[in-house]
Structures are given as structure tokens and as C-alpha cells.
Chain A
């Protein structure tokens, strides 16, 4: 197995493009290193992207934020402007694993590992974030929801590496929130995850909303009906109920060791309600 630590994105994509088989990008390694322990795993090339200049930076631009692909989750919570703008994204990234894991893991790694239960992904989708992708043929941008295609599968072509996550500049009186359900208090995988991002009009009614769910389908779900249930309301009980029903109905989970179909559908609604209440309260303070 070959290990490379390129200094530029061009070298990194060239290495990935030129690899014969089984080449992997290494960010924090909290997924990849665990997989490498398994007897079934085989790798010919590992390309560590942590030395590429700029990959460890969070930059504030006119349009929003650029989060480099090697920025660990812990660093997100230390950026006051980012926390103020996207509290839900930051709280999702800081639910991953534990303090030790957060010192290493990245949101891009979380996205590219393509687990249906990835914690930061619903929050990024609700925030309408985009991925900036570099490849042998140049760079392109796609919506976060279009990166994973199913469990363990992504839409990247050979040689492509995600450089950064782009978060928009939030509208005034906008806030997001993320909640997940785990049986323990930490060190666990989401049984259900729910992210809500909403904006308030001058009169306090919800003018825009995005609702995303994790762990209830083969990949993250953006639930339009749930957003519609919120828009135009003051988050009254009827709106919350409609939101919960929309989320439960949109969920298409499986029965597995982590939860049953009925359980996940029901709790998706419960968490969406609670996340909406948090986002609503936060937006009111903005």
C-alpha cells in the first residue's frame, strides 16, 4: 500500500486519477482507518489531503463561508461567525463521536463516507450548502444532497476530490437546528436525524424553510412537504403536527439492529418538531 501526502490539489487529483484500483482520500481518517482494520479491506493508494494548502481554513466571503475539506469538526465550533450564522450545522458536526473524534473528523469525510446516518449531512442539506469539487477536468459545484447516492456510494468520478463545503450567507432572522436520536448519550450512530433551517418574515411568520432527515432512507432526504407545512405559520400546534406527519410519511427506513421501521418513522416526526422549535427560537433572536 502506498501513502502519499501531496501539497497541492493538482497533485492530489492527479494521484487519484492515475491510481489503478482501490485508491482512497484520507481526511480525518475516523471512518477510513476503522475500515482499514477489517479483514476484507484492501487499499493500494492512500492520498492524505491534510497537507494541501488552504484545506485547513474556514474563510468568510461575501457569499458566505468556505470550509476546507481538512477542517476538523472541533474547529467549526471555535469560529464565532460560523456558529452565529449556522448553529445547526456546527451542532451537528459536534455530535460526531466524541471530543477525540471531533479533533480529527471532517464534515467532508462525513459526507463522502456516505452513511445514511451521517450527522452533519442533514444539517448541510437544510442549510442549502454546496460541495466544491476538484478533478482532472477542473472544478465544479454540486448541492450536498447530490453527493451521496446510496449507502457507501458517492457521485464523484475517478480523480475527483471535494475541496470545500460552501455555506451561503444566511438571510436576516434565519436559523437552523439539528437533533438526532441515539440510545446512549454519546459515541453512537443516529437512529434518526432531523435538521430544520427557517427564516422569519417581519411579522414573525415563517417565510422560508428547509427540512432534512437522516437515517430514515438510503440517503439524506430533503422533505418539501415538511417545509410547506411550516411556511406561512407561526409554528403553531397545527403546523408542528403537519410537519411531524410530513416527516413520518417521507421516511422510508428499514428494520435493523438500530431501530424498527415504525420507531424511526415516529421519531423522525418528534425530532423534526423539536428541531423546528429550536430553530424558530433562534431565528427570533437573530
Chain B
């Protein structure tokens, strides 16, 4: 039976309430099991040897001395991980990133790994592995990598997407283009044009829990992996492909997750741990240190972006154009393309053109980070929009409202919008008390908009009703932000039972069908859809059971308010049967009651937000403090409002850190200088004000409750909102993120002279 996902406007009992999350107590008492908390009998400790060079040919690796160290059970290099990728370039990039093959492509690139009976033997062995490197010229800066004389990282990369195809290899892997209309004609109609270049530095997701796993390859060809991940089904597929295992024979169990934000959607250490276990014949535990996390996992792109926007004197944008250059680490990817798609998404533009260049550099392979690529594009676009509003003499909110996209607008990346929330978030910003609050001395106010696509994807859930009428729901999307609470609310809503009678668990890969990972803000959107469908399937079963219990035809039974009821005057006097009543009789009416669902959740509604912030700048030191911050975002329907607010605040907090202080700093030698939280400065609690939130609910027509994903959009506006606020505070346009104190002071000094 196919599932009708269309929005039905109904009144809710459970959805929209704020009960405590089921995983909360274990997390605050330290009982929750994270990636490093799994253990196996006889387990070995793994350590990884990493390249100290930004770019080097590996001429040879001698492991003989290390193998002789007492307690060492296995050493693997690329030779132990044969290339089974069969021409799949994306998969090959994952393999090469897990263990360098011919060349080390960045400082921190894995070149060998050891499994030993304890930490000290593993450490001793690492020191005895001899790698013969031929150091090669390197490049880490995005603009430098595009220069004609830059060292070419990979001579099989010929820029795609350009005509005619280039005859020489370069570091530009791909060119993409989006837009419509005629920008030249549009600029010709403009009274005022703003044109500016921007840069953003590379940031890390900064999850508190480092990557950790236990891998166990068994003698019978099966294998187990316990791991901290955002997507255990995807990890299973990647690991199986790279190691030549059958997917069904590799059972992957996800742990609790101490943050991922996109950084745990990619495998790094897991295939290596499996390869070590296979070679040693024993389980292997691999935990990355914080330094390894920074040097070898995670980061987002560093970017260089040019924006040009023109408008008429009365505030209508006539054309908008952007060129976006994004680093992707050493392997081609599509990060600039995402930036090019999102840059101007909030606006209704007649003429728009964006071009994205994917640039390979000697930095770690870029991973998704919460609305990947959109924050940098929004920083550039929204800075220019703000500057243009100022030049025209219009209020920045009014200027945006005058050009805002609405239902029926053709988006800058192609599709025509359905009902969307950008206009309402701007109206809410205009009306918000924050917008009219007085500013103190040395303070500036900024605002900015942000967009993210959201994603749906493959989802599979099982709902089981116990004999006592309580319910377990098994889902395959890892809970990164309270989804077990939200999904329990959905079950309670559909079945008409109490939230406390529902237990939600994350099933492993052997007990449930495939699920895409928790990314693209899809967790609650897609899994709630499958959960509603599974609950409705279970209700169907319960109707059948009620028919047996009452011995009346199925058509005479309907479901209402958590009960089977008999329709019509003939049966009208029967007391309705509750879930508990029906469950108690299940053994006599056909066995256990369950509802199953598998679907592809289409129609994830796009998501928009508007942020407002006030910043105070100390003009003598360049130091800045966020003094007030407000997030306004469309949630479609907030299933659990407290956890929606948590997503809004979390994204804003990460964006604030990125905007003000977070950056990868490389030395001239191409080595990362700040692989730790001391010098990679994420905000601490006292750096942030309470972040205010306002939830708007513009229903997504493609979800029964109107839900849209909310996890990512909140990180899109902060870079721009903060840059606009700082620019207003100091009276200078700031165009290089992060706006660290030395950068602000240097700009102030430059303006003086």
C-alpha cells in the first residue's frame, strides 16, 4: 500500500510538546556509550602513522623493525588495502584518503597503521616505521592553487565543465554554472552596482567526540563494527566496498554520537581498523586523537568569492553574479557547486549567474559541515546585499523584502519554489523587538538571510507493539539532536498513546533495511514520515485484530483517538478498544502486532532563516563580542520545539565561532599549526550570549504534519550577519572571515592611513 505523504492540517496532542529526551539521563550521568566505550575480549589498540609533509611521494615503507616490537600484531599500509574501486573515482578518493597510496597529499595523511596489545607497544612501533619520502612542492591557498605556476597535485585532473576541454592538467577539477536571464543586460539597467571580493578560511566541525571504532573481522568471513557515525548503513557500504566484504556480512552498530555536523558522514579510520583486524585476526579499537581529528578529518572548504550585484535607486535588484572558488582537499568534489547553487537562493532575480570552481589543494579532504558550502556563499552574497542597501539608502531588511523569493519564484539554482518561509522570516525580523532595540557605544547591528535545500532519501522503520501495549520504534537514522524524542512523539500522536509508552532505538545494519545517513537535515523529516507510515500500518493490523475480537466485519471498524471503534448503530454500544486492549489479546488473534515501513521521502521542503546580531568592537584591540543574537527560522512544523530551538542555537553558535575566530592556520611548510582546541578557537560558553529563537511554521506540503528539516540552515546566515554587524560597528566593510582581532585591527589601521 502506498503512503500518502500530503500535508493534512490536523490538531495535535503530542506533537509540539516538550517532553525530556530519552537519552538525556544517560548522557549527563556518563552512562551513554560513545564510540570509544565499546570493548571486545582480546581487543588490540591501533595507532596511525601520518605524513609530516604537505605533499610527498612515498618511495618506500619499511615496517620490518616495527613488526619486531613485542606486542605488535599487525601493521598495514596501502599494500594491505588493495584497490577494489573498479574505476569509481569517488570511492578511490575515500580509499586513498584512508591510507595514502603513491603520495601523501596533506600534513596528517595516513601512511601506515599498527595494531598492538597496548598503547605503548603501538607507539614504539610507530616510531620504527621508516617511510622514504620525496618531498614535493605543495599549495594550500585556494587562489594560489589556481595560478598557472602552482604545483599540480594530480596530473590526471583536467578541468571539467569548460569548452574546449583543457589540454593541460591543473588544480581546478570542475567548473559549474547556474542562473537564468542576462546579467549584462541586468547590470546595464542598474543605478548602483556593488562589486567586491571575499575570503573565508577553513573551519572544522569541532565535534567534541573524536572518531572512534572497534572493528572485528571474524574467521567465517563476517565482520562487526561498532562506531561513532552519522550513518552506519553508509559506513557499512563504504567499508564493504573498500575491503571486498559482502554488505550483509558486515554488521555495523552506531554508538551515541558526541557531535558530527557532517564530519561523521565520511569514513576515515574505520576501513583501516577493519584491515588491521583482518590481518591480526583479533578485534581492533581505533580512537583518533584530537590532533588527528584536526589534521586528517573533517574540515570545510576555504573559499575565495567575487560578487557583483546591481540595483535600481528604488531598491530592485537588476542582476546578481558570483564566482566561487572552493577548496576540496586533494580530491575533486562538488563543494563550489553547492555554494553556487545557494548563494542567491533567498531572492527573486530576473538575471542571475553563479560560477563555481572546485580547487584541489594540499589540505585534508573536505567533508560536509552543516549546510555544506552555503555559509561562505551567503557570507559573500549577503555582505554585498547589505552594502548595496546602504548605498541606495534603504533599510537592509526592507531592501531584502523588496527582492524576496516567494511561492512561484524561479530560484537562482533552477527549480520553482513552492510555499517558502524567507518572506515570513524577514517580516518577523522587521517586527522583532531586537531590530529596534537601542545600541550601546561601539556596537553595530547586522542581519542576514540563509537557505538550505534539505534532503529526504531512503528510510526504513519497524514499529512493534508489546503485549502490554507499549511500543518500540526501531529506526536507522542516527539520533544527532533529539530525534528519538521527536519520533516517540510522532508514534504517540498516531497511535493515541502516551509519549512515555514509546521507546525509540537506533537499530543496527543487520536488523533493519537500508537507511541513508543523518545528513541534509533529513533525520526527523524522513524518519517521521516512515514512522507515521509504520504506525498507520500497525493501526491497520489493530483494526483487523479488533474485527476478530468483536467478530464483526473489518469495514465496520474505524480508528479514532487511539482506539478501534465500531461504526454504525448495529455495533455502536461496544466499548472502544485501546491499543492496550488489542495488544493484550494479540496472542489469540494472530500473533505480535507490528507496523513496518520503507519509503523514499521525497519533497523535503527547502528551509530559510533570517538572523540578527549585535556586536561590540574594542577598536584599540580589534576584539569583538556578540552581545545579542536572534535566530528566526521556518520549521514547517516543530515536532519537539525545544530541540528545534537547540538546532537553531547550535548552528548559530558554530557560525559565530567560524565568523570570529576559527581557522586552519598553515605554516610555510604546509603543516597545520593549530591542530587543537587551544589555538583552533571554538567559542566557549562565556563567549556567547543567550541565543534567542523564533520558530515559524510554514507547512511543507509534502509531509503529513508539514515538517521541514531544521538542522542545517541555522549555520548559513551567521558569517554574513556578524560581518555586517562588525562592518556597521567599525564603519568599514570586512571581507575576510574569520574577523579575528588582528584582522579587525589591521583593517582599522589601514583605514586611518
Q: How far is the CA of A185 from the CA of B688 in the complex (A)?
A: 9
Within the complex, the shortest CB–CB distance from B403 to chain A, in Å, comes to: 36
Question: For A172, what are the chain B residues with a Cβ–Cβ distance below 8 Å?
Answer: none
Known: A39-B126, A183-B681. A263 touches B623 (CB 8 A): no
**Is A185 within 8 A of B686, CB to CB?**
yes
Within the complex, the shortest CB–CB distance from B663 to chain A, in Å, comes to: 9
Asked whether any CB of chain A lies closer than 8 Å to the CB of B742, the reply is yes
Question: For A271, what are the chain B residues with a Cβ–Cβ distance below 8 Å?
Answer: 621
Question: For A270, what are the chain B residues with a Cβ–Cβ distance below 8 Å?
Answer: 620-621
- Interface stretch, picked from B204-212, B425-433, B434-442, B672-680, is B672-680
**Is A259 within 8 A of B126, CB to CB?**
no
Question: For B687, what are the chain A residues with a Cβ–Cβ distance below 8 Å?
Answer: 184-185
**Is B621 within 8 A of A267, CB to CB?**
yes
Question: For A183, what are the chain B residues with a Cβ–Cβ distance below 8 Å?
Answer: 623, 660-661, 681, 740-741
Who on chain B is nearest to A270 by CB?
B620
Within the complex, the shortest CB–CB distance from B291 to chain A, in Å, comes to: 9
Asked whether any CB of chain B lies closer than 8 Å to the CB of A257, the reply is yes
**Is A263 within 8 A of B745, CB to CB?**
yes
- Mask, A176-214, CB within 8 Å of B = 1, is 000001011111110100000000000000000000000
Q: How far is the CA of A262 from the CA of B660 in the complex (A)?
A: 20
Asked whether any CB of chain B lies closer than 8 Å to the CB of A35, the reply is no
Question: For B686, what are the chain A residues with a Cβ–Cβ distance below 8 Å?
Answer: 184-186
Considering only residues 643-683 of chain B, those with a C-beta below 8 Å from chain A are 660-661, 665, 673-674, 678-679, 681, 683
- Mask, B681-715, CB within 8 Å of A = 1, is 10110110000000000000000000000000000
Q: How many residues of B contact A (CB 8 A)?
A: 26
Q: How far is the CA of A258 from the CA of B621 in the complex (A)?
A: 14
Q: How far is the CA of A200 from the CA of B678 in the complex (A)?
A: 39
Known: A39-B126, A258-B679. A186 touches B741 (CB 8 A): no
Known: A39-B126, A257-B674. A263 touches B741 (CB 8 A): yes
Asked whether any CB of chain B lies closer than 8 Å to the CB of A260, the reply is yes
Known: A181-B741, A183-B681, A185-B686. A263 touches B661 (CB 8 A): no
Contact of A260 among B674, B683, B742 (CB under 8 A): B742
**Is B746 within 8 A of A262, CB to CB?**
yes
Q: How far is the CA of A181 from the CA of B621 in the complex (A)?
A: 8
**Is A257 within 8 A of B665, CB to CB?**
yes
Asked whether any CB of chain A lies closer than 8 Å to the CB of B123, the reply is yes
Question: For A39, what are the chain B residues with a Cβ–Cβ distance below 8 Å?
Answer: 123, 126-127
Looking at chain A's contact residues, is the secondary structure mostly helix, strand, loop, or mixed? Answer: loop
Who on chain A is nearest to B625 by CB?
A185
Asked whether any CB of chain B lies closer than 8 Å to the CB of A241, the reply is no
Within the complex, the shortest CB–CB distance from A129 to chain B, in Å, comes to: 27
Within the complex, the shortest CB–CB distance from B370 to chain A, in Å, comes to: 21
**Is B681 within 8 A of A186, CB to CB?**
no
Considering only residues 704-753 of chain B, those with a C-beta below 8 Å from chain A are 740-742, 745-746, 749
Q: How far is the CA of A266 from the CA of B744 in the complex (A)?
A: 13
Residue among B123, B665, B679 facing the most chain A CB atoms (10 A cut-off) = B679
**Is B623 within 8 A of A181, CB to CB?**
yes
Who on chain A is nearest to B679 by CB?
A257
Q: How far is the CA of A188 from the CA of B674 in the complex (A)?
A: 13
- Known contacts A181-B623, A263-B745, then 4 further A-B pairs from the complex at CB < 8 Å, ordered by chain A residue: A181-B741, A260-B742, A260-B746, A270-B620
By a beta-carbon cutoff of 8 Å, the part of chain A in contact with chain B is: 39, 181, 183-189, 191, 256-260, 262-263, 266-267, 270-271
By a beta-carbon cutoff of 8 Å, the part of chain B in contact with chain A is: 123, 126-127, 620-623, 625, 660-661, 665, 673-674, 678-679, 681, 683-684, 686-687, 740-742, 745-746, 749
